[in-house]
């Protein structure tokens, strides 16, 4: 049961879903947040994060704050980056890999 001012920890909500359903998951996540539920998501899906950003951009008067975090492995430590928008993060391995894959595909 979810209560107002409650919270959800959701590890990779997009796993094994097709993009159409990932869009639905993004809408559910945004709706929960808009209704007072604090959502923590761990994901490797650039698609999911972009869908959440698209929804946020369309709804200008939101009643909550979004934060994005990225973990960057160093030699003996981990650096945490944070931003209010996805573009504010410098380290997005999933974005780097998606771009490299696109380059490899275009070379075919």
CB 17 within 8 A of CB 23: no
Rounded to two decimals, what is the model's pTM? 0.79
Instruction: Extract the tokens encoding 54.
Output: 């698209």
* Domains of the chain, residue spans: 1-66, 70-108
CB 27 within 8 A of CB 39: no
pLDDT along the chain (108 residues), means of 10: 85 93 95 91 90 87 82 89 86 80 90
């Amino acid at each position: 049961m979810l209560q107002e001012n409650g919270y959800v920890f959701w590890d990779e909500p997009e796993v094994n879903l097709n993009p159409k359903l990932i869009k639905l998951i993004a809408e559910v996540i945004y709706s929960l947040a808009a209704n007072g539920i604090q959502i923590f998501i761990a994901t490797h899906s650039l698609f999911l994060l972009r869908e959440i950003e698209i929804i946020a951009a369309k709804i200008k008067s939101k009643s909550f704050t979004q934060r994005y975090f990225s973990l960057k492995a160093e030699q003996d430590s981990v650096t945490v980056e944070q931003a209010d928008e996805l573009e504010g993060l410098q380290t997005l391995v999933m974005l780097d890999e998606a771009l490299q894959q696109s380059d490899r595909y275009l070379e075919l």
